[in-house]
Amino acid sequence: MNTLEKKKLAEMPKIELHLHIEGSLEPEMLLSLAEKNQISLPYNDVDAVRAAYRFRDLQSFLNLYYLATQCLKTEQDFYALTLAYLRHCRDENIVYTEMFFDPQTHLEHGVPLAVSMAGIAAAQGEAEREWGVDSALILCFERDRPAEGTIALLKDAEKIGGIIGVGLDSAERNHPPAKFAATFAAARALGLHRVAHAGEEGPPEYILEALDKLGVERIDHGVRALESPELVERLRAEQIPLTVCPFSNVALGGFGNLQQHNVARLLESGLKVTINSDDPAYFGGYLTANISDTWDALGLSFEQTIQVQKNAIDGCFAQAHKKREMYEKLSVYG
Ligand code: ADE
Ligand code: ZN
């Protein structure tokens, strides 16, 4: 990307569709929350935390991610965490973001659902009012936990209000999606959207299962789809959005480096690719850096930057009039 294109990328209105709010917890905030809430961590300073950001695979990352979530205790903590991410959105011209959160982890740490959701909602309201940053919330179920109790959790969240959909995350290997079929059917009956992580570390069959057994509308990651030509053809024909996260895939060993990432091939295959940051505090950068560095590594064109933004507008769950507005604002750039 040349300098002018980088400037246009920075300025253009962007959308993020794959972001775990807990994965935006930067080391400075982690340490201050740990001190405030008297949680002992095996790290004394920011450098020690950053030194722990060397991951072999998804599980090695999740071990640290869940350890860090213990430090989120109060409504104020969730508010501060979410507001900090939404401030990043303001600074990067991310005008709309659909954020994930992992309530089962927080419940296990003694944080009621109403507490985490109230903190997140307060920050969403403030970011919208103060900065015009629009956002939505997706409740993720952790696939390596039992499905029991997830429908009750879903109903509790619905009573509180504020979620637009459900997702499926956490350790993918040996955890196919089908176990959550009834939960996702219940979400559908409630009029909620459905997405699932699939084909991050798991095989293409998990992507198929997420589509057919969970009725998902998007696939989070999905990079292993290329191993199955039949699946690629289906994803292309149905234009199922993929929320690809290049920094994440490299940080967790899916690809040796950005040059080896398959996102160029996913785009060439006619798939509805979007670019996202996943857990930006842990993986080395937010949305704009993910796009810019990936485009440089793979020699992708500026038109393809516009294409992935259009794909994100098409694939997001905002209302039709908001999508039209986003299209109009984007049209200035290409
Ligand atoms: N939770 C947070 N980040 C995740 C990822 N990349 N894959 C699965 N679960 C996650
Ligand atoms: Zn993710």
Q: Which of 22, 75, 172, 200 is catalytic?
A: 200
Closest atom, ligand 1, to C-alpha of 245: 6
Cα–Cα distances in angstroms (integers) from residue 12 to residues 2, 93, 253, 306, in the given order = 15, 7, 30, 9
Q: Is the pLDDT of residue 22 over 90?
A: yes
> Atom 10 (ligand 1): residue with closest C-alpha?
170
Instruction: Give residue 332 CA to ligand 2 midpoint distance, Å.
Output: 31
Q: At what angle do helices 3-11 and 287-298 cross, to 10 degrees?
A: 150
How, if at all, do strands 241-244 and 14-20 pair? Answer: unpaired
Whole-angstrom Cα distance, residue 43 to residue 39?
11
* The predicted structure's pLDDT at residue 35: 98
CB 246 within 8 A of CB 294: yes
What CATH class is the domain 3-331? Answer: alpha beta
Range 113-123 average pLDDT: 99
pLDDT in tens, 155-195: 999 999 999 999 999 999 999 999 999 999 999 999 999 99
Domain boundaries, the chain: 3-331
Among the bound ligands, the one closest to the CA of 19: 2
SS3 52: coil
Closest atom, ligand 1, to C-alpha of 20: 2
Q: What is the DSSP letter of 239?
A: T
Whole-angstrom Cα distance, residue 252 to residue 254?
6
SS3 169: strand
Among the bound ligands, the one closest to the CA of 249: 1
Residue 200 bears catalytic tag: yes
* The predicted structure's pLDDT at residue 2: 97
Which neighbouring-strand residues pair with 243? 220, 274
pLDDT in tens, 65-111: 999 999 999 999 999 999 999 999 999 999 999 999 999 999 999 99
Average pLDDT, the chain: 98
Instruction: Give residue 1 CA to ligand 2 midpoint distance, Å.
Output: 26
Buried/exposed 294-325: b ≥16 CB within 10 Å, e otherwise: bbebbebebebbbbbbbbbbebbbbeeeebeb
Closest CA to 16 of 101, 75, 103, 89: 89
Range 261-274 average pLDDT: 98
Q: At what angle do helices 150-160 and 113-131 cross, to 10 degrees?
A: 40
Instruction: Give residue 138 CA to ligand 2 midpoint distance, Å.
Output: 12
pLDDT in tens, 32-64: 999 999 999 999 999 999 999 999 999 999 999
Among the bound ligands, the one closest to the CA of 276: 2
- Residues whose beta carbon lies within 6 Å of some atom of ligand 1: 20, 23, 58, 65, 169-170, 197, 200, 248, 278-279
* The predicted structure's pLDDT at residue 325: 97
Instruction: Give residue 3 CA to ligand 2 midpoint distance, Å.
Output: 30
CB 95 within 8 A of CB 13: yes
* The predicted structure's pLDDT at residue 266: 98
pLDDT in tens, 125-151: 999 999 999 999 999 999 999 999 999
Closest atom, ligand 1, to C-alpha of 200: 7
Provide the 10 A C-beta neighbour count for residue 155. Answer: 11
Where residue 163 falls (left for φ over 0; alpha for ψ -120 to 50; beta otherwise) is: beta
pLDDT band at residue 334, thresholds of 50, 70 and 90? confident
Helix residue spans in the chain (DSSP H): 3-11, 27-36, 46-51, 58-69, 75-92, 103-108, 113-131, 150-160, 181-189, 204-213, 229-238, 246-251, 263-268, 280-283, 287-298, 302-315, 320-331
